Amino acid sequence: MNRTNEHVRVYPTIGVCGLDCGLCPRYYTEGISRCPGCCGPEFSSKHPSCSFITCCVKKKNLEVCAECSDFPCSKFRSEEEYRELKESASYPSYKKVIPNLNFIKEHGIEKFAGQQEKRIRLLERMLADFNDGRSRSLYCKSAILLSLTALEDSLGSAIQKTRTDNIEPNDTKTKARILRGVLIGAASS
């Protein structure tokens, strides 16, 4: 893998530590506070140093911790501890860190990246067609936490409801309310 002094990774949408960077609200922020993803372009100028990046990328020349023979090491918390961490509106959910890395370890990063790309496309559709300026964090968390099928079904249901109810394409507030309701319903079922 060709690494520059800045250590740009092949998959910046996948955090070295297993975070879903490509599904994070900060990845979709406009302007100076936009995050380029884990070790994406100009990452080092926007983020403090990270022990996961130092160990995995800089020292071992790996893409993600799941590729390391020492995974999971002492840098990681238990799966239960990650599930109990307080959620942040501006950062991706930690709940999938260990499951993401375990999936990569078992099936490979390319397969994980393919699934994540499907989630990214669905999220980008939600943001393009249903974003009222206040729902980005909910859409991002839904893209991380819901199953891919539930995510696809939720978006399809919201699109269908906007058509059935004859919602104007520029009525983003109503469209966002519909999608939020569908996603919340999917999460509680």
Residue 174 within a domain: yes
Say if residue 87's pLDDT is above 70.
no
**Contact call for residues 168 and 126 (beta carbons, < 8 A):** no
Kind and range of the H or E run holding 178: helix 172-188
User: Residue 153: what residue type?
Assistant: D
The string of pLDDT tens digits covering residues 62-77 is 999 999 999 988 888 7
Residue 10 within a domain: no
Model's pTM, two decimal places? 0.87
Residue 16 within a domain: no
At 26, the pLDDT band (50, 70, 90 cuts) reads confident
The string of pLDDT tens digits covering residues 95-139 is 888 999 999 999 999 999 999 999 999 999 999 999 998 999 999
| Domain that residue 149 falls in | 21-188
Residue 71 within a domain: yes
Angle of helix 172-188 versus helix 136-145 axis, rounded to 10? 30
The string of pLDDT tens digits covering residues 133-176 is 899 999 999 999 999 999 999 999 999 999 999 999 999 999 99
Residue 69 within a domain: yes
Residue 157 within a domain: yes
Residue 116 within a domain: yes
**Contact call for residues 178 and 167 (beta carbons, < 8 A):** yes
Residue 12 within a domain: no
The string of pLDDT tens digits covering residues 7-25 is 568 898 999 999 999 999 9
Alpha-helical regions (H) of 54-107: 79-84, 97-107
Q: How many domains does the chain have?
A: 1
At 1, the pLDDT band (50, 70, 90 cuts) reads very low
Say if residue 44's pLDDT is above 80.
no
At 5, the pLDDT band (50, 70, 90 cuts) reads very low
Dihedral angle, C-alpha 179, 182, 184, 189, nearest 10 ° = -160
